[in-house]
Structure formats: structure tokens, C-alpha cells
A and B are shown apart, each in its own frame.
Chain A
Amino acid sequence: MRRFITTISIILFIITGFSASAFAGEKLLVAVAANFILPSEELTKIFQDRTGIVTEVTYTSTGKLYGQIVNGAPYDVFLSADEKRPDLLEKQGLSDKPFVYATGQVVVWTAEQTLCGATDWQSVVKNPRVLKIAIANTESAPYGTASMIALQRVGLWNALSEKYVFPQTIAQAFQYAETKSADVGFCAYSSALSDKGKKGCFYTVPEAPTIVQSACILKRTENRSAAEKYVEFIRSHEAQKIKEKYGYR
């Protein structure tokens, strides 16, 4: 009998231990576009410490997240890397009105020191010593789309097609470039500003459209008050300062 009670208690303890909501009360599930990992981690930590709301974040490409949400994934808040998808969600009645939470930039970044000091990004990608260029999946990653647009605008998109490598997310693009698996990568500006990013060099890409990133609360959320607190924090002046640190405006 004693054994039985002990076992049951242990099992209950484990089960409740894993569902943090049993202890912490509110919780939140946030979907965040891959480029925004670094600022998001800092912001989420502050938010969690301050409010006690356990916040779990999933990072992957905007397109993937959108697909998941449309198919019923239980996120409470969605931080996209574009405006298009939150707008689509609103139109489909799946979210509240979106708002812009950050604007980002595409840059060309490389870990190869010999490629630093060129005149502009175009001469870098055209360089015959550059064999592999990482571009995030142009369909599901807005930064990838923007990179493609920039290349199209300067008439290089087709010419360089032999060199492209297509990681699934913009964060992966940086990873490829950082490990020198790709010679250069079209990355988020915030990656270039990171610790690892500082070890290489970057070039601005004025031909790429500014990435306007908007977010929204999803209508199916069961933690509306927690979601609203989160959104309020994301839009706060304090959060703005943090975003700027990571290269967002």
C-alpha cells in the first residue's frame, strides 16, 4: 500500500511539474519569426521574470508558422517577419488587427575576411571565389523573399543561380555563412550585430525592401489577458530600446 501511494505521488508530482501552469497560473505560447530570435529571447526573459507568465516561444520561418496557425496550431501570439501573413490571418478571421512591432534589414554577411572591404554587396556576390550563397527559402521566409527581390532588381538573380543554397530559415542562412558552409549569406541585420556576427563583416543591401514585421494576437487564444500583456510589453518604449540594440527599428 505504501509503495502504491509513493508511486502515485511521484507520478502526480511529475505530471504537475511539467505543466507549469499548475503552479505559475498563466502561460503563453508565442510564434516568432526566425530572424527575431535574439531580441525575442531577451524580451521574453524580461517579460517572464516581471509578470511570472510562463512564455514558450517557437522560432522558425514565417511561412511555416503561418501554415501551422492556419491548420490550427495553438499559438497565442504571432510575431511575423512580414505584414502580409498577419493581414491574411485577420482577413480569415483568425487574428485581431495586426500591428507593426519592428522593421528589419537584409544584409550580405560573410565570415571570410578576404571578402571584407569590397565596394558593395554586388561585387561580393559576383566574386568568382564565392561559390555558395545562402538565401533563405524565398517562399516561406520574408527575408529570403526580400533578398530575391534585391537580386532581381540589380539583374543578378538568374546569373548567380548556380551559387544559391536555400536553407529553410533566415537564421539558418546565417548559420551556413558563419560555419563557412556558404561563402556568403543574405542574413538579418541583427545577425550581423550578434557576437558571432561581429567576427565577420556585412554589407547593406539598399535594393532590398525594408522588412516590416507585424504581429497579432490570435483569436483562438485561451490566454487573452496574458497575450495582451505580452503585446503591450512588446510595443513598449523599453522593448523598443532593446530591439534597437539588435538592429531593429
Chain B
Amino acid sequence: MDITPLYLSLKLAFYTTVILVITAAPLTYLLVYIRFAGKSFFEALLTLPMVLPPTVLGFYLLLIMTPQGNIGRFWKAVTGSPLIFTFAGIVVASLVYSLPFAIQPMKAAFEKIDRRLLESAYVLGLSPLAAFFKVIIPNALNGLAASAILVFIHTLGEFGVILMVGGSIPGETRVASIAIYEAVEALRYQDAAMMCLILVPISYLFLLAINRLTRKQIYGS
């Protein structure tokens, strides 16, 4: 059995998780602490990938990632290679697809922090940026961890979006979910079964980890 698809899925999940956790934190900060016009619209927009059918998301991503599309054109101009049908392309797609899953646990964790803690930090001389790193983050670690895990397993299961913008290139964009799909189509049921057998325990273990973390938040400390 070829394990490259599984390796690709894990690699995709890893990159997406790292990038998303880092970029979602300031976004979540914006949503929780800053008041600005049109905030609710902005927030709904960020949550959209969670409710749209993946094929709808995939369709729009396809449109903007092709060399004629806005993002595709920009990417080509900057890097010289196309965005669509590349590993970088499916990472971009995954970032959009999993964004709401990064934000939700973080938002819950940030909101739990008492404002007075932040105010105390300001009075003690910390700028909002310093307070973010020294007060908010250390007190939101559980939320950050839950975010990371959720994004990871959600990306492992990604299918519809990658099908549309990935191009199923072996070793580059043919992730496990696509490989399983193609194996079933080609009636290679054994290959499909083997890959599923490996994916299920991985996802399950991560879910257990989330459970532990969120329970600690409710009962512990």
C-alpha cells in the first residue's frame, strides 16, 4: 500500500494547523476585544466556511485560484508558479476551510478571561500588544490547544475542497481522502480499507485529546 497519501494528509494538516493557529489569534483578538463598524458582518463572514457545502467553497476557491483569478494571478506574479494544483494551493484552501474551527475555541478561551485582568495589566504599564502575549495567551492555552487539534483533524478529513482545487497529483495533492475515493471508484476496496484503517485511530486519538483539554477547562483550575 502506498503511504504517500497518508503522509500528504498529515503534512497538509500540520502546515494548516501551524499557520492557522498563529493567524487566528490576532483575528480572534480583534473579534473579542475591539469594537468596530460592521463587526457582526465580518464575524459571520469568517464563520461562513463552516456552514457552506465544501463543493461551494471549492468552486469559489477554484475561481480565484486559477491563473486568471485574483489570488492565482497574484501568486504567479510573486512566486512564478501557479497556485492551483499545487501543495501550496491546497494549504491555502485548507486555511479557508478550517478557519472557523480555529477561531471558535480561541474565542471561547479569550472571552473567559476577566477584563479586569487586562485592565490591571494596562495600569501596570503593559501595552495592549504586550498584554496580549503576557496575559491573554498564557491564560488561553487550553483554548489554543483545542484550536490546534480541531484544525488538525478537520483538515485530515478535508475532501470536497481539495477535490476541486487539488488535481489529485500523486505526492503533491493526492491526499488520503482523495486516494480513498479514487480507490473505491476503481473498485480497489482493499486499498481503500487499509487507508481508512489508519486514519480512524489517528482522528479518534486527537478527539480524545480535545475532550481532555476541554474538560480540564470546565472542572479543573
Question: Could you list which residues of chain A lie within 8 angstroms of chain B, going by C-beta atoms?
Answer: 61, 63-64, 66-67, 70, 131-132, 134, 137, 139-140, 164-168, 176, 179-182
Give the docked Cα–Cα distance between A66 and B67 (Å).
34
Asked if B22 CB lies within 8 Å of chain A CBs, one says: no
**A131 in contact with B186 (CB, 8 Å):** no
Which parts of B153-193 form the interface with A (CB within 8 Å)?
163, 167-170, 174, 182, 184-187
Smallest CB-CB separation from A68: which chain B residue? B185
Nearest CB on B from A81, distance (A): 14
Residues of chain B with a CB closer than 8 A to A168's CB: 163, 168
Q: Which residues of B contact A176 (CB under 8 A)?
A: 167
Contact between B67 and A180, CB atoms less than 8 A apart: yes
A62 nearest CB across to chain B (Å): 10
Interface Cβ pair total, 8 Å cutoff = 53
Tally of B interface residues using CB under 8 Å: 19
> When the two chains form their complex, are residues A137 and B168 in contact, meaning their CB atoms are under 8 A apart?
yes
Instruction: State whether B85 touches A70 (Cβ < 8 A).
Output: no
Bound complex: CA A63 to CA B184 (Å):
10
Q: Which residues of B contact A167 (CB under 8 A)?
A: 167-168
Please give the distance in Å from A147's CB to the nearest CB on chain B. Answer: 15
Q: List 22 A-B contacts (CB under 8 A).
A: A63-B186, A66-B187, A67-B185, A131-B81, A139-B182, A139-B185, A140-B182, A164-B169, A165-B85, A165-B168, A166-B167, A166-B168, A166-B169, A166-B174, A168-B163, A179-B68, A180-B66, A181-B66, A181-B82, A181-B85, A182-B85, A182-B167
By CB atoms of chain B within 10 A, which of A64, A139, A179, A181 has the most?
A: A181
Query: Taking CB as reference atom, which chain B residue is nearest A176?
Result: B167
Whether B84 is near chain A, meaning CB under 8 Å from some CB there, is yes
B68, B182, B184, B186: the one within 8 Å of A180 (CB): B68
Task: Name B's A-contacting residues (CB within 8 A).
Answer: 62, 66-68, 81-82, 84-85, 163, 167-170, 174, 182, 184-187
Tell me, in angstroms, the Cα distance from A163 to B96 when the chains sit together.
26
Instruction: Identify 19 new A-B residue pairs, CB closer than 8 A, beyond the known A67-B184, A132-B85, A165-B85.
Output: A64-B185, A67-B186, A67-B187, A131-B81, A132-B82, A132-B167, A137-B182, A139-B182, A139-B185, A139-B186, A165-B168, A166-B174, A167-B167, A168-B168, A176-B167, A179-B66, A180-B67, A182-B85, A182-B167
B21 to chain A, nearest CB (A): 30
**A166 partner residues in chain B, CB cutoff 8 A:** 167-170, 174
- Inter-chain CA distance A134–B167, complex, in Å, is 8
Which 10 A/B pairs are nearest by Cβ-Cβ distance? A165-B167, A166-B168, A139-B186, A181-B66, A165-B85, A64-B185, A181-B84, A140-B185, A179-B66, A180-B67
Which residues of A have CB within 8 Å of B167?
A: 132, 134, 165-167, 176, 182
Question: In whole angstroms, what is the CA distance A61 to B186 when docked?
Answer: 11
Residues of A within 8 A of B163 (CB): 168
Which B residues are in CB contact (< 8 Å) with A140? 182, 185-186
Contact B168 A131 (CB under 8 A): no
Measured CB to CB, the nearest residue on chain A to B84 is A181
The docked-state distance in angstroms from the alpha carbon of A167 to that of B167 is: 5
Task: Tell me the minimal C-beta distance from A35 to chain B in angstroms.
Answer: 17
Separation of A66 and B185 alpha carbons in the complex (Å): 9
Residues of chain B within 8 A (CB-CB) of A181 are 62, 66-67, 82, 84-85
Contact B82 A131 (CB under 8 A): yes
Q: Tell me, rounded to whole Å, the shortest Cβ–Cβ distance linking A89 to chain B.
A: 13
Residues of chain B within 8 A of A63, CB atoms compared: 185-186
Task: Give Cα A61 to B168, complex, Å.
Answer: 15
- CA of A32 to CA of B62 in the docked complex: distance in angstroms? 26
Query: Is there contact, CB below 8 Å, between B169 and A165?
Result: yes
For B85, the closest partner residue in chain A by CB is A165
B176 to nearest A CB, angstroms?
16
Report chain B residues within 8 Å CB of A132. Answer: 82, 85, 167
